[in-house]
Copies of this chain bind each other. A is one copy, B any other.
Amino acid sequence: MKKFTSINDVESLDQLLDLAGNVKNNPYGYKSIGENKTLGLIFFNPSLRTRLSTQKAAMNLGMNMMVLNIDKEGWNIEMEDGAIMNQGSQEHIKDAAAVISQYCDIVGVRTFASLLNKEEDYQEKILSKFIKYATVPILSLESAIRHPLQSLADLLTIKEQSIQKKPKVVLTWAPHPKALPQAVSNSFVEWIKHTDVEFIIANPKGFDLSTEFTNGVEVSYNQEKALENADFVYVKNWSSFDNYGEISTQNSEWTITKEKMKLTNTAKMMHCLPVRRNVVVMDDVLDSENSLIMEQVNNRTYAAQAVLIKLLQHEN
């Protein structure tokens, strides 16, 4: 694998999931592969799970690591090619990406959507420039419109449940007081489409995801109907794609409750975290036996570790 920024970078999803499973069974079995290799983790935005799980994955592989909160510890980065840099930005992305490449064998980048400029976000402006100007493989730690490490961990979590029949998976929108990117949801759709499940998205009118991702997927505006017979309920808020970045002050009835979960086939509940408790999902669902949130968290390590192995194998 030359980079890991979307499912399109993955040659074989089955093989990658198998590798993640093997790594989980034997986390230190690949410790020689990372010797004298350095992972740089570059954060433009906050991160807890991704920050810690990717570090853990790299340490399990014996890699060296350097973490940079680039906005706070480095310089302000200019993103426009050809800019006359006589204003606030101090270093061009062209130089920053090339510089970091001199010191690292793989560079992880975390950068959120602006939610102000749909076109720039959906062109993955910052991530694309890192890919363009870095001279080593780029690992997405969440970008404007995708979060592939999360999706790989999510699919590993679903696979581990060993549902015999073809399971029904519902991705449902839920309320949230702030505008969130569509990245986790876009990515989940993009990845789940490559698996053998019955998949449906439930969201209020005005909150359809981009058809770039949902093309071919059933979308329902009736959450309760969508939940019927579900085996997995993936809950997630996202701000509007159509009215880009807007949030809903209505639709509070979309919160996932114990009562709604009764409509399902004793479904497992999933969420990528962080979660606004009792707004997105109620406590008694998050803390129930059917909640997979900590399995998802744990699998982040093995997802990252499998991806790092693939990137290192290319690099060697």
**In the assembled complex, which residues on chain B have CB atoms less than 8 Å from the CB atom of A21?**
none
Cβ of A313 within 8 Å of any chain B Cβ, yes or no, is: no
Asked whether any CB of chain B lies closer than 8 Å to the CB of A18, the reply is: no
A-B contact pairs, 14 of them (CB 8 A): A27-B36, A48-B96, A51-B66, A56-B64, A69-B72, A82-B278, A82-B283, A84-B279, A85-B276, A85-B279, A86-B279, A91-B275, A95-B274, A95-B293
User: What are the residues of chain B within 8 A of A27 when measuring CB–CB?
Assistant: 36
**B283 close to A91 (CB less than 8 A):** no
- Are B86 and A177 within 8 A (Cβ)? yes
Nearest-neighbor residue (CB-CB) of A57 within chain B: B103
Binds B, one of A4-12, A38-46, A216-224: A38-46
Q: Is A142 an interface residue (CB 8 A)?
A: no
Q: Which of A143-151, A163-171, A204-212, A294-302 interfaces with chain B?
A: A294-302
Chain A positions within 8 Å of B, measured between CB atoms, are: 27-28, 36, 38, 40, 43, 46-49, 51-53, 55-56, 59-60, 64, 66, 68-70, 72-75, 78, 82-87, 90-92, 94-96, 98-100, 102-104, 177, 273-279, 283, 287, 293-294, 297-298, 300-301
A48 contacts which chain B residues (CB < 8 A)?
Answer: 68, 70, 73-75, 91, 96, 99-100
Chain B residues closer than 8 Å to A73, beta-carbon distance: 43, 46-48, 51, 69
B273 pairs with A91, CB closer than 8 A: yes
Besides A55-B103, A99-B297, 10 other CB < 8 A contacts?
A: A43-B73, A51-B66, A51-B73, A52-B99, A55-B66, A72-B72, A82-B278, A86-B177, A90-B274, A94-B277
> If A102-B298, A177-B87 touch, does A95 touch B52 (CB 8 Å cutoff)?
no
Could you say which residues of chain B place their CB within 8 Å of the CB of A56?
Answer: 38, 64, 66, 103
User: Quick check: B46 and A66 within 8 Å, CB to CB?
Assistant: no
A258 to chain B, nearest CB (A): 15
- Given A48-B68, A66-B52, A66-B56: A274 in contact with B75 (beta carbons within 8 A): yes
Contacts of A52 in B (CB 8 A): 40, 66, 68, 99-100, 103-104
- Residue contact B297 to A86, C-beta cutoff 8 Å: no
Considering the complex, give the chain B residue whose CB is closest to the CB of A90. B274
The answer, among B46, B75, B301, for a CB contact under 8 Å with A103, is B301
- Report A47 CB to chain B, min CB distance, Å: 7
C-alpha gap A283/B95 in the complex (Å): 11
CB-based nearest B residue for A287? B94
A105 CB, min distance to chain B CBs, angstroms: 10
Contacts of A59 in B (CB 8 A): 38, 64
Set B36, B38, B294: member contacting A102, Cβ < 8 A? B294
Residues on B with C-beta less than 8 A from A83 are: 277-278
Q: Which residues from chain B contact A95 at a C-beta distance below 8 Å?
A: 273-275, 277, 293
Q: Given known contacts A46-B75, A48-B75, A98-B294, is B103 in contact with A53 (CB within 8 Å)?
A: yes
